[in-house]
Amino acid sequence: MTHSAGRSRNSSRRIVRSRDRRPLRPTSHARAKAAHKGTSPADPERRRIDAQYQSAVRSFETAVRALQKQNYDRAAEIFEKLVNSEAREVAERARVHLRLCQQRTGRAAPAPKSAEEYYTLGVACLNTRNLELAVEHLSRANKLKPNQDYIRYALAATHARQGNTDAAIEHLQAAVTLRPENRFQARHDEDFQGLVSDSRFRRLLHPAGS
């Protein structure tokens, strides 16, 4: 729901139904490799890298859908294959999602270490509606890496799903302050449907003159 403030938010590159605010970026990955080899963006190496990346993203999305349906064994099978992918961003997220699958099936899983891992795991829990665990992971991410709009936005969405209106608005206000574009995202986000009757929420998303 990957991605800090200022990163690209191209929705076509986001994980399916994920609130991960860090979109996967195959183009930048390919350009970096092409530049290293001294080749142009349109050469066969660039196309090969892009094709591999897009394939990894499609597999990741398939695994996420299986995870959302609580088909943990199927999701884990795909994530296990992706953790060794050359697409580093996909591999990192697959590793964290695999940890969630292992936790849900009672298998031993290493604890997350970084803010990004806690964030990704929290978003995965949000998507599977394990809201208490989502708040726990996202709060840990926020503590390790404060003032990140995408972490505060995910916390707002989770609290809104729980019916914790005050906490949801507090985190959403922070997310909008850090990155004003988040108010447009929230206007169309189904996670905030329970807040539409709250005057504070309406003022936050529709300030005077907007």
Per DSSP, the chain holds a count of helices (H) and strands (E) of 10, 0
Q: pLDDT digit of tens for each residue in the chain (210 aa)?
A: 433 333 333 332 333 334 555 544 433 333 334 444 444 555 777 777 788 888 888 888 898 888 888 888 888 889 888 888 888 888 888 887 888 888 777 776 667 788 988 998 898 888 888 899 899 999 999 999 999 999 999 999 999 999 999 999 999 999 999 999 999 999 999 999 999 999 999 999 998 756
- Classify the C-alpha dihedral 93-179-126-170 as positive or negative: positive
pTM of the predicted model over 0.85: no
Please state whether 174 falls in left (phi above 0), alpha (psi between -120 and 50) or beta.
Answer: alpha
pLDDT of residue 13: 30
Show the tokens assigned to 6: 């200022």
Query: What three-state secondary structure class fits 109?
Result: coil
What is the CB-side half-sphere exposure of residue 149 using CA atoms within 13 A?
Answer: 20
pLDDT of residue 154: 95
Most distant CA pair in the chain, distance = 56
